[in-house]
Amino acid sequence: MKKYIVYLGILAVGLLLGWLFFGNSPTKEAEHNHSEVEESNQKWTCSMHPQVMKTEPGDCPICGMDLIPAENSADGLLADQFKLTENAMALANIQTTVVGKGNVEGNTIKLSGKIAENEEANAVQVSYFSGRIERLNVSFTGEEVRKGQLLATIYSPEIYAAQQELITAASLKESQPALYQAVRNKLKLWKLSENQINQIEETGKVKENFPV
């Protein structure tokens, strides 16, 4: 009976020692492997240039600042994309606002940058006849203009001569209607309106300058 008790005691001690030495080793090994995976996936970036991504710590190749651990979500950013933590935004003094027109309320934000035109809102006006600008009402590139606004007044020798032809052809329209209609059509091709052509014909006066 005593032998059984001794055997049971030895077995219990053996099980206890086995658990102490080997029982929790898989967990530790798993934790160790997980730590190694995290370290291998860790990327390093620059707080001022988030497009920089390195697999090990060091200096930023752009500004020379120490690289910081990058968040997993920041991996794979393009050159024109960046993501900063709140702490990094505070250090870099970065503020954002919506660009638009309106009265400024509160503190103003001074920015440096380059203003470009909205290409979707651009319009090109083709010239249908040669001439020279006598007066320009728009003084600089980028000035805002409205539909129907007078941009310039121009003088065109071609338009001047065509007006004289119209006045002469109008006096002969009963005998030479084809010539009269041809002169009117020529002015229409140069984008003179029906009212402008009728005004020249009715007044018998040649206009030197035309609005654009």
Q: What is the DSSP letter of 132?
A: E
**Domain segments of the chain: what residues?**
41-96, 155-211
- The dihedral of CA 131, 132, 136, 139: what is its sign? positive
132 pLDDT tier (thresholds 50, 70, 90): very high
Lowest mean pLDDT among 11-20, 41-50, 71-80, 98-107: 71-80
pTM for this prediction:
0.44
pLDDT of residue 9 exceeding 90, the answer is: no
Decide if 44 contacts 67 (C-beta within 8 A). yes
The residues, any chain, with a CB within 8 Å of residue 37's CB and separated by 6 or more, are: none
How high does pLDDT run on average in the chain?
78
46 pLDDT tier (thresholds 50, 70, 90): confident
Sort residue 181 into left (φ over 0), alpha (ψ -120 to 50) or beta.
alpha
Write the pLDDT tens digit of every residue in 35-44. Answer: 444 455 678 8
Decide if 131 contacts 154 (C-beta within 8 A). yes
- The dihedral of CA 198, 201, 203, 206: what is its sign? positive
Considering only the C-alpha atoms of the chain, give the largest distance between any 2 of them, rounded to a whole number of Å: 149
